[in-house]
Structure 1
Amino acid sequence: MTNRLENIGLMIRNERLRKGLTQEELGERVGVGKAQISKIERGKGLTIKTVTKVLDALGMSASVVLKGEQEIDKNVIAYIVAAISEFAEIHHLSDFYFHKGSCSQL
């Protein structure tokens, strides 16, 4: 979890620098001091409210930051494996063996 927070902080820092803002300038836009922006950029003291304010000040969307942080749904994987298994069976492909969410070559 800490790594993800640090990634959000790094993303915020990179966008601040890309926009040519100092930590102090971003802090003024958000309503916090330079020290707080520094903490945020290191992934410390992050709350949803604070991150939202910072992202708004930078013209970023929270969905941009959170995208890619989703875990893969195991049900989706099971469905894909079942579909591949059915395809292999229909087309008489015997090089692969599919069983209960796993795939291995014979």
Structure 2
Amino acid sequence: MEYIFKNIGSLIRAERLRRGLTQTELASHVRMPQSQLSRIEKGANVSLSTLAEISRALDLEPMLIPKRLLPAVNHIIGYTTSGDPEAQRPPSLVSHEED
């Protein structure tokens, strides 16, 4: 379970940095001590309400994804955020039969 919190923390940190925010700025925006945000980014346990506040501040949408869809979702996320116009098209989540 610890890896989930580390992953969440890493994603929060990456998005914060992408937006050019310091820990102090983001922490102030969500009304928490900078030290608490630092612990969260390092993988500390985070409550759902705190995660929701941080997500809202960073314009992120937390969600539960079925494990069977993770490869497709990760591929789509990589495709849309890579910035590489030559990146491979994401796979279809629904197979289409030919008429």
TM-score scaled to structure 2, two decimals? 0.64
Give the number of the structure with larger relative contact order, counting CA–CA contacts within 8 Å between residues 6 or more apart. Answer: 2
How many pairs are equivalent?
69
Q: Give the partner amino acid of 2:58.
A: L
Structure 1 ranges of 4+ moved more than 6 A: none
What is the distance in 1 between the residues matched to 2:62 and 2:67? 17
What is the distance in 1 between the residues matched to 2:40 and 2:54? 9
Larger radius of gyration: 1
CA deviation map 1:14-51 (0-9, x unaligned): 00000000000000110001101101101203111111
What is the distance in 2 between the residues matched to 1:13 and 1:19? 10
Identity %: 38
* Alignment correspondent of 1:41: 41
Unaligned regions of 5+ residues in structure 1, if any?
73-106
Structure with more strand by fraction = 1
